[in-house]
Amino acid sequence: MNQPALDDARSASAVERLLEESWTMRSNRAAPRELMVEALAAALFLGCAVPLALAADEAHSLNLALAGVLVVLYALASRIIKFPIGAGYVVPSYLVLVPMLLLLPPGVVPLLTAAGLILGTLGEGAVGGGPVRMRPERVLSAIPDAWHSLGPALVLLSAGTLHGGASKALVYIGALVAGGLFDLASSLARESAIRGVASRVQLSVIARVWLIDACVAPVGLFVTYAAREHAARALLILPLGGALLLLSKDRTARIAQAQHRLELIAHERERLQVAVRRLGEALAAKLDLEMLTDIVLRGSIEALDADAGRLVLSGPIEPLALDIGRSPQVAPSLLAAIETTTASVQPCQLQCGGVWALALPFGFSSEGQLAHGALAVARRGREFREDEQRVMEGLIASARQGASDIVAHQLLREQAITDPLTGLGNRRKLTTDLELELAAATPSKPLVLILFDLDGFKSYNDTFGHPAGDALLARLAGKLADEVAGRGTAYRLGGDEFCVLAGASPSEVPALVAVVAGALEERGDDFALRASYGSVLLPQEASNPGHALQLADERMYTVKRGRHRARANRDASP
């Protein structure tokens, strides 16, 4: 159990807090340290109880039948009737311990008490399915639980034969006090050594145990006097024991329910803390749509305690589909809910094969463009409540604005690096790509940078007009992009200047230049266009983007000037 998450939900009482903290550990296997402490306590007890029994003068008067009945009754009272308190239990043991001390030789009672505790532990395991057979340390721990019987036995042995009501009362009170002191000493030593329980807390626990013992002991005394006339009257303990058993079962069940509620509170708070962290991550991921949608989907799953989730999104972005925790069992419900909500643009909850799915629309607009989608979560066996749907709606509402901002930023970024006329990357895009590609290029894996300038475009523009010129540029850009697809990237740098950045070896450059230059040629009845070009092999001929662009530009204009001279010479010829 997450203790920090429950500090304000747990009891203010130290004893009750000890009960809460130790509740889940009661079914754990004993640690080596606990086994060592219990073995030592058991050995010390037997070292005191065995000589005491052997030295008992009254051993010859032991009524074996009565002793057997009382041992069985003690087993029932000490192991079946248990009220959880602190790190252990309080049991009505004095209901039977008092008759045992007064009807049997006191010297043998500690050993008989240990026998009753062992018998009760074995019986408890049998009733509960037999875990004790698999966990013998429980039997070992039963022996030192009998320490409380040593004190009263020693007091009664020391007192000898009692005469007179006042002296008997004083001895009985002394025996009760001695039992409490022995119980206190053994409990303090064992709990401190095993669990490190503070003495102040353990004293509070023992004080409550003493109070119960003091209330139960007179009943045991009454049964003792009744049983002296007829041994069968010792069974008068059973009706009261039955009532106490019902009360103990009820208290244990209520404590178990309270512990379960505490665990649920801890679980809910952990989920809320995770959801808050997800929102913080979402703020940090404001410029990453995939990360934002992943956080929103995970946050919805955690906030609604779902088993799986799915988010789909399409529109002014690449179609997006995220799945978390999807399995063949939950997939049909998730897909059906997504399809229903996508079609109706309305919340949808449905159930398929015992799996409930809740889907909500997840659409938004950005820069006048609409995105459509849905977010769905699913879990087994439980319908989603209205308050859970509201939580999910709140998460989606927060995410919509973030997603809209992200898409708007992406669109602006695309606009900033895209030529609006042709859809090719612009000069800014080329500069960024060239810097990245050049850093990764090697002589064994070179790049070629080719700049193009259209020859005859100004005449075409003057003849046919600017709209026709723009249409021509867009048409040539499409041909250029198709020609280099899969091998490189095409760019328009402005006016009638184009560029290609592609991977090519030195031997492949001439063929590549001829092919892409051919894509920029077009002829008609009244015009002819072709492209002058300049190419640079990278990194062999240039080590930085600026030098590469300058060298390609110089080579392109060298070709262009040569063509102008050739045309001028042809025009000057007779």
Q: CA dihedral defined by 533, 539, 542, 545, rounded to 10 degrees? A: 80
Q: Please give the helix or strand (H or E) that residue 358 lies within, else none.
A: strand 355-361
Separation of alpha carbons 545 and 437, rounded Å: 10
Where in the chain are the domains? 14-243, 285-416, 427-572
- Amino acid 269: pLDDT: 64
Question: Is residue 381 within 8 Å of residue 354, measured between CB atoms?
Answer: yes
Separation of alpha carbons 330 and 308, rounded Å: 7
The token pair at 179 is 């039992």
- Amino acid 528: pLDDT: 87
The token pair at 271 is 């989920």
- Write the DSSP assignment of 415-475 as a string of letters: HHTB-TTT-SB-HHHHHHHHHHHHHH-BTTB-EEEEEEEEESHHHHHHHH-HHHHHHHHHH
Question: Is residue 188 within 8 Å of residue 199, measured between CB atoms?
Answer: yes
Q: Give CATH superfamily name and number for 427-572.
A: Reverse transcriptase/Diguanylate cyclase domain (3.30.70.270)
Separation of alpha carbons 491 and 481, rounded Å: 8
What residues in the chain have per-residue pLDDT under 50? 1-6, 8, 59, 128-134, 284
Q: pLDDT tens digit string along 130-177?
A: 333 446 677 888 888 888 889 898 988 888 776 666 778 888 888 888
Separation of alpha carbons 291 and 235, rounded Å: 72
In CATH, the architecture of 14-243 is Orthogonal Bundle (1.10)
Separation of alpha carbons 209 and 84, rounded Å: 11
- Amino acid 131: pLDDT: 37
- Amino acid 76: pLDDT: 84
- Amino acid 133: pLDDT: 44
- Amino acid 130: pLDDT: 37
HEC profile of 203-247: HHHHHHHHHHHHHHHHHHHHHHHHHHHCHHHHHHHHHHHHHHHHH
252-258 LR contacts (CB < 8 Å, sep 24+) = 252/82, 252/83, 252/84, 255/19, 255/23, 255/84, 256/23
Q: Please give the helix or strand (H or E) that residue 69 lies within, else none.
A: helix 64-75
Separation of alpha carbons 316 and 310, rounded Å: 20
Q: Give CATH superfamily name and number for 285-416.
A: GAF domain (3.30.450.40)
- Amino acid 534: pLDDT: 94
H helix runs in 285-353, sequence order:
289-303, 331-344
Separation of alpha carbons 445 and 463, rounded Å: 45
Q: pLDDT tens digit string along 386-410?
A: 888 888 888 888 777 777 777 666 6
- Amino acid 311: pLDDT: 92
Separation of alpha carbons 422 and 402, rounded Å: 31
Handedness of CA 305, 306, 307, 311 (dihedral sign): negative
Q: Is 195 left (phi over 0), alpha (psi -120 to 50) or beta?
A: alpha
Q: Which residues of 165-188 are buried (b: 16+ CB within 10 A; e: fewer)?
A: eeeeeebbebbbebbbebbbebbb
Q: Please give the helix or strand (H or E) that residue 83 lies within, else none.
A: strand 83-85
Separation of alpha carbons 449 and 534, rounded Å: 8
Backbone angles phi, psi at 451, to 5 degrees: -100, 140
Tell me how many degrees the CA angle 479-481-482 measures, rounded to the nearest 5. 65
- Give this prediction's pTM: 0.48
